[in-house]
Structure 1
Amino acid sequence: MKKILVASHGQLADGVKSSLSILVGNTDSIRFINAYVTKEDIDESLNTFFSSVSEDDEVIIFTDLLGGSVNQKVTLRAQKHHAFIIAGFNLPIILEVLFLPEPITKETLNQKIETCRQAMVLVEPEKLATNEDSEEDFLD
């Protein structure tokens, strides 16, 4: 079974949860951890998540900052579970992973990460549309 964790400093994880619930509906299968927001200990939250992981599970973890404290804490625990960790995530990569068929491979994840990197661009509206263009033309 696919197990997904989104862990961030502050309330970024809850923001992702909000967006995902609009885009895909039910997010009950995804665990979200907002570190350092309340007195809830991130170590306890991570221990709870990893205690629910079995040997057969595919674990994909998204953290906000490579090398940040959340990423470091996740990395220490993930080694025992052969989890994939994607640091510096964006919403498109989470959506891509949600819809990947199992089994998930390192090669597949690297391909999806590259696709999502290429989708991050500076949008220059003045170069994309003129006043005569409609919204429908812009979005096609």
Structure 2
Amino acid sequence: MGRKIIVISHNLFAEGLKRSVEMITGKHENLYAYGLLPGNNPADLLPEIEKQVETASEVIILADLVGGSMCNAATQLLTHKHVKLVGGVNLSLLLELVLIPEDQEVDLVALIGHAREAIKEVILEQRAQNDEQFF
């Protein structure tokens, strides 16, 4: 029984995040993804997710959207003291989380802060060039 990281989302976003992380860092046996497909109910996924919760000493659930149906449904799992839920997952947050060794404590406040800092507008700077600088 160790740490499990569960990503939940609308449609295939969670699976896409999982695949992206594993493309960058390799396979993670403790990383799971569940997506709510059109026409389905979030409550239908909870029993499968709860199986993962019951076989871990620590569970961190990352939801795509605070207040979204998947995040709201997952709040039922917070009755387990070893479960933490974060809404608003991004690739930066998930990457940093999966790279934390299982024997090291997870500081979610710091991870969320790092994930926020990773969101930036990318701007190309125009440099003034005169003939002397060009050559």
| TM-score normalised over the length of structure 2 | 0.80
Structure 2 residue 68 is the aligned partner of structure 1 residue 68: yes
> Which structure's CA Rg is the greater one?
2
Residue pair 1:6, 1:32 contacting (<8 A) in 2 also: yes
User: Match for residue 90 of structure 1?
Assistant: 90
Question: What are the equivalent positions in structure 2 for 1:1-140 lying under 5 Å apart?
Answer: 1-37=2-38, 39=40, 41-54=41-54, 57-101=57-101, 102-105=103-106, 108-126=107-125
- What SS does the corresponding residue of 1:84 show, helix, strand or coil? strand
- Greater relative CO, 1 or 2 (CA 8 Å, sep 6+): 2
Structure 1 unpaired stretches of 5+:
132-140
Q: Which amino acid aligns with 1:110?
A: V
- What SS does the corresponding residue of 2:109 show, helix, strand or coil? helix
- Over 3 Å counting, the alpha-carbon distance change for 1:11 and 1:38 in structure 2 is farther
| TM-score normalised over the length of structure 1 | 0.77
Residue pair 2:14, 2:33 contacting (<8 A) in 1 also: yes
| CA RMSD after TM alignment | 2.4
Moved runs in structure 1, 4+ residues, more than 3 A?
none
Whole-Å separation in 2 of the counterparts to 1:62 and 1:117: 15
Shift of residue 32, structure 1, vs aligned partner: 0.7
Residue pair 1:63, 1:89 contacting (<8 A) in 2 also: yes
Shift of residue 48, structure 1, vs aligned partner: 1.6
Aligned residue pair count = 127
Q: Which amino acid aligns with 1:31?
A: Y
Q: Per-residue CA shift, 1:89-112, capped at 9, x if unaligned? A: 11111111112233535xx11011
